[in-house]
């Protein structure tokens, strides 16, 4: 099977080296001037608002120029990217600028696992991100998983209409040539150039696999992942020259010279992770599970649906096994012994598991499922959230 991610990573490895070269990506400006903010983040600022004191994660952070700019605006940042070369440059830049920014190597789709139990005040995504991902719904679920309840997604990316245009045609025509809607198969490009103004060329990894996602598909993915849309703005400009017949304005953005109002080039979308569940407007309750309630079959049997959870941990507890004598519970879980936890007295001990949002009725169904050896108690998890958990009734 073709590994599109491996193909794209090789391409980004080569590009990162070109982009980090002097006079390419504004790296020197960030080093020379401690007040300097990247052009991309400067454009975003009126919509981004104050990020001072917030903890943020920048997905597909590339060589870190935007991540470090957000840190300069007062946020404590983690940048994530799958290109080790891009991250090596990002780390070097963070060190040179003493920025509050660390960097993690991972595929976006694995971000929640790679970042551990931490949940963020905001997820930031900037230009040139979604086209590298085959499934926008999966991306939105990752974003929702990374956010604290009430946390915010901020994304400004290329508009799918711009991406569907034939860039070889004169800009009077604006001919649609590539998919607007998401398609399972990638668009395959072979191109030795990159989007910054440079004479440098890629020498080996010139192939890329890319995907389009329509605006409706992006919005629906965000809503279905449990976020509430708070902003959708379409811009007539982009921070790079996408087509012939464009001119750079004083704000550093490129627009069509001829009737720029014909073309949305980028969009900004913001959404807030709902503190309540979407499918049930009553207040959701949080349940931490370290055992069989994490199994899909157990969830379907008890709640009639599969739960979406995120990783967390329970400090100060130790785990043993308890024999289950209720034949129905054994039949549902397929296990005669279930894990059970009790306080250990040592805060360094911890139990790994998942936090799920349930309706109050579903919590009662979970009570029914758990045998009498378990008692449900409210605990504070490692991430700082309070959740119900079933612990040993014996104490
Ligand atoms: C166009 S750049 C983003 C640029 C960023 N807005 C900036 O100006 O610094 C796209 C980045 O996405 C990363 N990327 C592409 N696919 C990825 C994936 N599946 N997981 C993680 N990173 C990915 C690439 O390595 C690259 O650094």
pLDDT at 95: 97
CATH 3.10.490.10 region(s) of the chain?
285-392
**Would you state the pLDDT for residue 281?**
47
For residue 288, the Cα-to-chain-centroid distance in whole angstroms is 22
Task: Tell me how far apart the alpha carbons of residues 29 and 192 are, in angstroms, rounded to a whole number.
Answer: 27
Question: Any idea what the Cα angle at residue 91 is, between residues 90 and 95, rounded to 5°?
Answer: 120
CA of 62 to the centre of ligand 1 (A): 5
**Of 39 and 21, which is predicted with more confidence?**
39
In the prediction, which pLDDT does 47 show? 97
Please name the residue that has the structure tokens 């598909």. 217
Residue with the two structure tokens 């007040």: 35
Q: Which helix (H) or strand (E) holds 125?
A: strand 120-125
pLDDT reading at 312 higher than 70: yes
Mean confidence (pLDDT) of the chain: 92
Q: pLDDT of 201-246, one tens digit each?
A: 888 999 999 999 999 999 999 998 999 999 999 999 999 999 989 9
DSSP 110-122: GHHHHTTT--EEE
Who lines ligand 1 at CB under 6 A?
Answer: 5, 8, 12, 40, 60, 62, 65-66, 81-83, 86, 107-108, 126-129, 132-133
Residue among 29, 38, 42, 60 to mutate when testing ligand 1 (max atoms within 8 A of CB):
60
Secondary structure of residue 109 in the 3-state scheme: helix
Residue 262 has pLDDT above 90, yes or no: yes
Per-residue model confidence as pLDDT tens digits over 99-114 = 999 999 999 999 999 9
Does residue 307 have a pLDDT over 50? yes
**CATH for 4-273 (3.50.50.60, 3.40.50.150, 3.30.70.20, 2.40.50.100):** 3.40.50.150
- The CATH number for 285-392, chosen from 3.40.50.720, 3.40.640.10, 2.40.10.340, 3.10.490.10, is 3.10.490.10
Give residue 174 CA to ligand 1 midpoint distance, Å.
Answer: 27
* SS3 labels along 269-338: EEEEECCCCCCCCCCCEEEEECCHHHCHHHHHHHHCCCCCEEEEEEECEEEEEEECCCHHHHHHHCCCEE
For residue 101, give the H/E element and its range: strand 101-105
Collapsing DSSP to helix, strand or coil, 221 comes out as helix
Nearest CA to ligand 1 atom 27: 62
The string of DSSP letters for 138-201 reads HHHHHHHHHEEEEEEEEEEEE-HHHHTB-TTS-TTT--B-S-SS--SSPEEEE-S--SSS-S--
Most trustworthy range by pLDDT among 87-91, 165-169, 200-204: 87-91
Q: Distance between CA 24 and CA 21 in Å, rounded?
A: 6
Higher confidence at residue 381 or residue 282? 381
For the cut 70, the answer to whether the pLDDT of residue 19 exceeds it is yes
Which residues of the chain does CATH 3.40.50.150 include? Answer: 4-273
CA of 12 to the centre of ligand 1 (A): 8
CA distance 339 to 324: 10
Q: What is the pLDDT of residue 240?
A: 92
Cα of 126 from ligand 1 centre, angstroms: 9
What phi, psi does 86 have (nearest 5°)? -60, -40
Distance CA 128, CA 136 (A): 14
Going by alpha carbons, the residue nearest to atom 18 of ligand 1 is 107
The listed range with the strongest mean pLDDT (13-17, 124-128, 194-198, 244-248) is 124-128
- Measured in angstroms, how far is the CA atom of residue 153 from the centroid of ligand 1? 17
């Amino acid at each position: 099977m073709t590994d599109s991610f491996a193909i794209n990573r090789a391409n980004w490895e080569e590009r990162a080296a070109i982009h980090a070269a002097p006079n390419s990506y504004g790296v020197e400006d960030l080093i020379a001037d401690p007040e300097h903010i990247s052009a991309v983040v400067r454009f975003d600022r009126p919509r981004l608002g104050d990020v001072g004191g917030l903890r943020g994660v920048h997905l597909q952070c590339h060589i870190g120029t935007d991540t470090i700019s957000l840190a300069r605006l007062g946020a404590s940042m983690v940048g994530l990217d799958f290109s080790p070369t891009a991250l090596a440059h990002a780390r070097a830049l963070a060190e040179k600028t003493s920025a509050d920014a660390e960097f993690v190597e991972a595929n976006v789709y694995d971000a929640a696992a790679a970042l551990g139990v931490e949940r963020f005040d905001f997820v930031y995504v900037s230009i040139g991100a979604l086209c590298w991902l085959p499934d926008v719904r999966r991306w939105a679920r990752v974003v929702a998983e990374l956010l604290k309840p009430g946390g915010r997604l901020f994304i400004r990316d290329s508009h799918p209409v711009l991406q569907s245009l034939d860039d070889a045609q004169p800009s009077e025509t604006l001919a649609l040539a590539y998919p607007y809607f998401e398609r399972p198969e990638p668009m395959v490009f072979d191109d030795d150039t990159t989007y910054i103004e440079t004479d440098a060329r890629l020498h080996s990894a010139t192939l890329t696999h890319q995907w389009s996602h329509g605006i409706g598909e992006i919005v629906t993915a965000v809503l279905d992942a449990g976020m509430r849309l708070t902003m959708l703005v379409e811009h007539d400009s982009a921070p790079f020259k996408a087509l012939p017949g464009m001119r750079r304005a004083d704000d550093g953005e490129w627009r069509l010279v001829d009737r720029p109002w014909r073309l949305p080039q980028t969009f900004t979308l913001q959404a807030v992770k709902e503190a309540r569940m979407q499918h049930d407007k009553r207040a959701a309750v949080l349940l931490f599970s370290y055992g069989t309630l994490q199994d899909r079959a157990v969830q379907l049997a008890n709640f009639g649906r599969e739960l979406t959870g995120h990783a967390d941990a329970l400090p100060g507890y130790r785990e043993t096994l308890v024999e289950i004598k209720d034949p129905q519970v054994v039949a549902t879980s397929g296990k005669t012994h279930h894990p059970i936890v009790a306080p250990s007295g040592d805060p360094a001990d911890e139990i790994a598991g998942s936090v799920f949002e349930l309706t109050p009725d579903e919590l009662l169904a979970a009570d029914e499922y758990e045998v009498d050896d378990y008692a449900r108690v409210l605990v504070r998890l490692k991430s700082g959230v309070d959740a119900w958990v079933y612990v040993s009734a014996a104490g």
